[in-house]
Amino acid sequence: GFGRFQGKTAIITGAGSGIGKAAAVLLAKEGANVALFDLLDDRTNKVEAEINQLQAGSARAFDVDTTDPDRVEKAILETVEIFGGIDIVFANAGINGVMTPIDDMKLEEWTKTLNVNLNGTFLTVKYAIPHLKKRGQGSIIITSSVNGTRTFSNFGMSAYSTTKAGQVAFAKMAALELAQFKIRVNVICPGAISTNIDQSTKKQGDLEEIVIPVEYPEGSQPLSDGPGKPEEVADLVAFLASDQSKHITGAQIFIDGAESLL
């Protein structure tokens, strides 16, 4: 085939579900070899099998907790051994974590969300950079959220929103730092997308006590009736991963049906 990603290799974290899975399938359909990093073996193995049936790019599932530096480093080295290098990094794994009023949030709960969403992103990017440098170019895409900028759509998500804002700042710093190596870094901010993210959410405490002085339906998107689809986000990821976006770096791109404008 003559897909956009023929001969390219992509690392995708959180590839067992939702946005990461959709991106893995699309990139592989267009020829990429994809390294699927996720916690959940069974789900990730299914994605691996699904992609390998396509007879396009090939997939390999890795059991990786992105908060574990040794595991991330090792899985990246294995990816390079298997596929010969790395061209694309989609740092996407994330959790909603505990939703609760701030004065009820335990430090461990706060730290857990920061660890997965921020440390996990940092470690994935950190250990991939030397391999992108060897290629003389590369594309890194980070999944933030509308919550990184526009915070009131989900009450009780102080830790989550903090991490999503942090990812935007990190992406911009990385874009500037890595431009000299022709490595681009962009950050995407989805609004509500129908995935399994709710499984990573724990609502606790009295969320009703958080009174916001505006009224609007939670998660509503003026452009559409319901949430977006993971496949729609995957199209954006593929664009940012491809040479079609070769002059775009440090960009923060909303994909939210105008949710962030409310």
Provide the 3-class DSSP secondary structure of residue 214: coil
Positive or negative, the CA dihedral 254, 252, 111, 15 is positive
- What are the Cα distances from residue 230, in Å, to 56, 74, 205, 245? 20, 28, 30, 20
Q: For residue 41, what is the enclosing H or E element? A: helix 41-52
Instruction: Work out how close the CB of 7 gets to ligand NAD at its nearest, in angstroms, rounded to a whole number.
Output: 26
Closest CA to 174 of 123, 227, 101: 123
The residues of the shown chain that bind ligand NAD, judged by CB under 6 A, are 13-14, 16-20, 37-40, 64-67, 92-95, 116, 120, 143, 145, 190, 192-193, 195-197, 199-200
Distance from C-alpha of 81 to C-alpha of 88, rounded to nearest angstrom: 16
127 labelled catalytic? no
With the CA atoms of 255, 223, 4 and 14 taken in that order, what torsion angle do they form, in degrees rounded to the nearest 10? 40
- Tell me the three state secondary structure of residue 43: helix
Residue type, 162: T
Catalytic residue among 160, 162, 228, 259: 160
Distances (CA, A) of 118 to 104, 121, 134, 160, 218: 22, 5, 25, 10, 25
Alpha helix positions (H), 90-190: 107-114, 120-135, 158-178
What b/e string do you get for 131-144 counting C-beta neighbours within 10 Å, with b at 16 or more?
Answer: bbeebeebbbbbbb
Please give the backbone phi and psi of residue 45, each rounded to the nearest 5 degrees, phi first. Answer: -60, -35
Provide the annotated active-site residues. 160
